[in-house]
Amino acid sequence: MSTLVLISLIELIIGTVAGVWFVVLYSIRTPWWHEEHRAHLFTFSANTAAFYLLYLGRTVADPSTGPGATPSVFNTVRMVLFTIMTAAIVWRLILLIRRPRRGQAVHSESAD
């Protein structure tokens, strides 16, 4: 397995897990169905997680893009795009985890 394909596979796994985890946490912590922006965020995130899961399955099952694939321009571009998308999904998950829950006090990081 080439390093490029391995990196792409790891990114797909991380993106799938982070995307699904975001949707689960957001569903539990936020009444997303009450506001249009929240509903859009939930729908877009769920769709992105589903896309990652589908693409992960395709990558593993298809010999032209999976673990036995040789590096190509397609694989290189795919790796770069999934790197950017994975970073954004993980960032979104971190922001959600760090966000205070309803009813919790917001702590300021500035010293008074």
As a whole number of angstroms, the distance between CA 58 and CA 21 comes to: 21
**Alpha-helix runs per DSSP H in the chain:** 3-29, 36-61, 73-98
What residue type is assigned to position 101 of the chain? Answer: R
CA 12 to chain centre: 8
The ranges assigned to domains in the chain are 3-95
Confidence (pTM): 0.66
**Higher-confidence residue: 7 or 1?**
7
Give the model confidence (pLDDT) of 48-106 as tens digits.
Answer: 898 888 888 877 877 666 666 666 777 777 778 788 888 888 888 888 888 777 666 65
Q: What count of Cα atoms within 13 Å lies in the side-chain half-sphere of residue 5?
A: 15
**Higher-confidence residue: 77 or 20?**
20
Count other C-beta atoms under 10 Å from residue 34's C-beta.
Answer: 8
